Amino acid sequence: MAKVQGALLPDHDGQAAGPVPFKEVAGVDAIPARPVTEHDAAISGMPRRLVYNNSLPILSYRGFWLLEDWARGTAAMADERRGGFVARPGDVMLATLPKAGTTWLKALAFATMARGLFPPASPDHPLRRLNSHDCVPTVESGLFACGREGVLDKLPSPRLLNTHLPLSLLPSSITDNDDCKIVYVCRDEKDRAVSTWHFIKRIKRIGSDVPFSEVYKSICEGTSACGPVWDHILGYWNASKKEPSRVLFLTYEQMLQDPMGTIRQLAEFLGQPISDAEEETGVVAEIVELCSLESMKKQKINREGSQGVGIKFSNDAYFRKGVAGDWLNHMTLEMGQHLDSILNEKFDGSGFTI
């Protein structure tokens, strides 16, 4: 059985219940971060550039631009000789571009999947004492990039995980596995650009004077982190059309407009449909309230804590406005139309529209 906060979790068919907050699993704290140097030769040979006030190196890794630490983590995930990432039956991978709604998606998916173990109305629910990033790890940057991939072996199944990687860079044990599911969230790139800009200004080594124009230009040119964004989006979009039972494609705007419908859709997709009894007792509304921006902002951990191993992020940096259309306060209509025209051209013929 798995141990969380000193308590043993019930087994199901001999396997511990999950998902659980990964930072509360027994033994996780004993796994130290370490420098990951095994792939230095390959990393050093990748094309690179400096971004955000020339403060962060970004590398071209098999057609996508990744922050250097993320590239190291991605290489480690793919390295089967040293173990790499090994999927388990029942694994759920939440995939997003950075600042596309990751924090909210982690909260919604965790609260939905773990509602039997942690009732959403409970005053001691993990999301009332932990940041959602403490519940769901980001595998390439939060584990493999800092040598803490051993955390994955400690987690009970089903594991709920997160990645910012494009589909083509995920290990085949995920992408070719009928027993693993992927949930992808896409956000209006104009709003994501604004959210990215506000977020990176909180990083000391970058500085608050980084111009918005640099973030905007990198997205338009396909050189932003995890970009080209159109290839990132289309990879998951096409997979969702080909295998809708394995890949669920959501939009941030859809989630904002109908959060209760999103939870029902998530639950159904993940094989845990909302029951009639749960509907009657208001479980869906309880999850919406628990995971709302207002509720998460109130939690002490989200006002005072921090995240990150190399680069530290204050937890409150993950909670700004969480709205659609804020781009109008930061760019001209012409800038918005220009970015939309680029994306429309890239998405032409795919069936996906912005």
- Which residues are designated catalytic? 164
Q: How far apart are CA 132 and CA 86, in angstroms?
A: 23
Q: How far apart are CA 97 and CA 247, in angstroms?
A: 16
Q: How far apart are CA 13 and CA 341, in angstroms?
A: 52
Alpha helices by DSSP H, 246-332: 252-257, 259-269, 276-281, 283-290, 293-298, 300-304
Q: How far apart are CA 273 and CA 238, in angstroms?
A: 25
Q: How far apart are CA 25 and CA 22, in angstroms?
A: 5
Q: What tokens were used for 333? A: 């209509």
Q: What tokens were used for 61? A: 């890794």
Q: How far apart are CA 115 and CA 295, in angstroms?
A: 17
Q: DSSP of 205-270, one letter per residue?
A: TT-TT--HHHHHHHHHHT-STT--HHHHHHHHHHHHHH-TTTEEEEEHHHHHH-HHHHHHHHHHHT
List strand residue ranges (DSSP E) for the chain, in order: 3-4, 7-8, 11-12, 15-16, 48-51, 56-61, 64-67, 92-96, 160-163, 181-186, 247-251, 306-307, 313-314
Task: Give me the residue label for tokens 């798995």.
Answer: 2
The residues, any chain, with a CB within 8 Å of residue 38's CB and separated by 6 or more, are 75, 76, 79, 82
User: Interior CA angle at 85 toward 80 and 90, to 5°?
Assistant: 135
Q: Which of 313, 121, 354 is nearest to 200 (CA)?
A: 313
Q: How far apart are CA 149 and CA 92, in angstroms?
A: 17
Residue 104 has a CB neighbour count (10 Å cut-off) of 24
